[in-house]
């Protein structure tokens, strides 16, 4: 396939995914166009949708693409690559790979033999993914502790209550350690001039200065 043919085929694949997603969402072309207008893209009209889906429109801007994905309620990357419906895809002219590898390459998750150089685009992606993992770990630990304490407060079995409270304390210790690690990681991000993402309300305290422990004078 020549580069020109690949470009047309690539847009055609997006159009097919858009059409399938529109029908799955139960939207008419007019409703899609209205959704674009509501998001500040009135120039993508119902006629534009028809031309794209019919193949008469052989190119699409990035702005059109991301707005359409939002209107249809689908992750943009799923419109680019036929994950689940095709085993391989020509990700670039003359370069056929598995569809999952194409998705991983596009999102910066393709495996590397060596760590990405610090400051590279891949390295920054990895840093933010690691941050997301740390946030998820802390949230999960707190959720488990909260659930065990809730269960302990509703049981009449003293032995079970004691066991649940013991488990809750263990999860709270894990959550404390997770938050300490998250605080340190966010500090390292700032040191690299990277702006950490906003934390969930439940973890907002992580960005607050640590209060030194009070040590009483010995008598």
Task: Kindly report the backbone phi and psi dihedral angles of residue 9, in degrees, each rounded to the nearest multiple of 5, phi listed first.
Answer: -65, -35
Exposed / middle / buried, residue 116 (Cβ in 10 Å: 0-12, 13-18, 19+): middle
pLDDT of residue 72: 96
pLDDT of residue 3: 66
- In the DSSP assignment, the letter for residue 120 is S
Whether residue 11 contacts residue 58, with contact meaning beta carbons closer than 8 Å, is answered with: yes
pLDDT of residue 212: 42
- Closest C-alpha among 13, 115, 31 to residue 68: 31
pLDDT of residue 214: 39
Whether residue 77 contacts residue 106, with contact meaning beta carbons closer than 8 Å, is answered with: yes
pLDDT of residue 1: 63
pLDDT of residue 117: 80
Distance CA 160, CA 167 (A): 11
pLDDT of residue 216: 40
Domain 3-80, second-level architecture? Orthogonal Bundle (1.10)
Exposed / middle / buried, residue 209 (Cβ in 10 Å: 0-12, 13-18, 19+): exposed
Distance CA 69, CA 113 (A): 33
Cβ-proximal residues to 160 (8 Å cutoff; 6+ apart), any chain: 152
Q: Is the pTM of this model over 0.95?
A: no
Reading the chain (219 residues) residue by residue, the pLDDT tens digits are 676 788 888 999 999 999 999 999 999 999 999 999 999 999 999 999 999 999 998 889 999 999 999 999 999 999 999 888 889 999 999 899 999 989 988 988 866 667 778 888 888 988 999 999 999 999 999 999 999 999 999 999 999 999 999 999 999 999 999 999 999 999 999 999 999 999 999 999 999 886 543 334 433
- Annotated domain spans of the chain: 3-80, 121-203
């Amino acid at each position: 396939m020549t580069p020109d043919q690949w470009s047309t085929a690539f847009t055609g694949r997006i159009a097919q995914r858009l059409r399938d997603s529109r029908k799955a969402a139960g939207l008419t072309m007019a409703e899609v166009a209205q959704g674009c207008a509501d998001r500040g893209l009135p120039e993508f009209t119902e006629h534009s949708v028809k031309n794209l889906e019919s193949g008469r429109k052989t190119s699409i801007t990035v702005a059109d693409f991301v707005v359409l994905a939002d209107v249809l309620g689908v992750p943009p990357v799923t419109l680019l690559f036929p994950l689940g419906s095709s085993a391989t895809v020509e990700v670039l002219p003359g370069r056929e790979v598995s569809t999952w590898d194409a998705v991983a390459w596009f999102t910066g998750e393709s495996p590397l033999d060596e760590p990405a150089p610090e400051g590279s685009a891949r390295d920054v992606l990895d840093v933010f993914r690691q941050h997301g993992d740390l946030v998820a770990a802390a949230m999960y630990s707190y959720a488990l502790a909260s659930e065990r304490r809730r269960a302990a407060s509703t049981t009449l079995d003293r032995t079970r209550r004691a066991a649940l409270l013991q488990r809750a304390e263990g999860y709270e210790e894990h959550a404390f350690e997770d938050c300490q690690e998250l605080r340190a990681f966010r500090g390292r991000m700032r040191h690299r001039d990277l702006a950490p993402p906003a934390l969930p309300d439940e973890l907002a305290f992580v960005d607050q200065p640590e209060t030194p422990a009070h040590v009483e004078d010995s008598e």
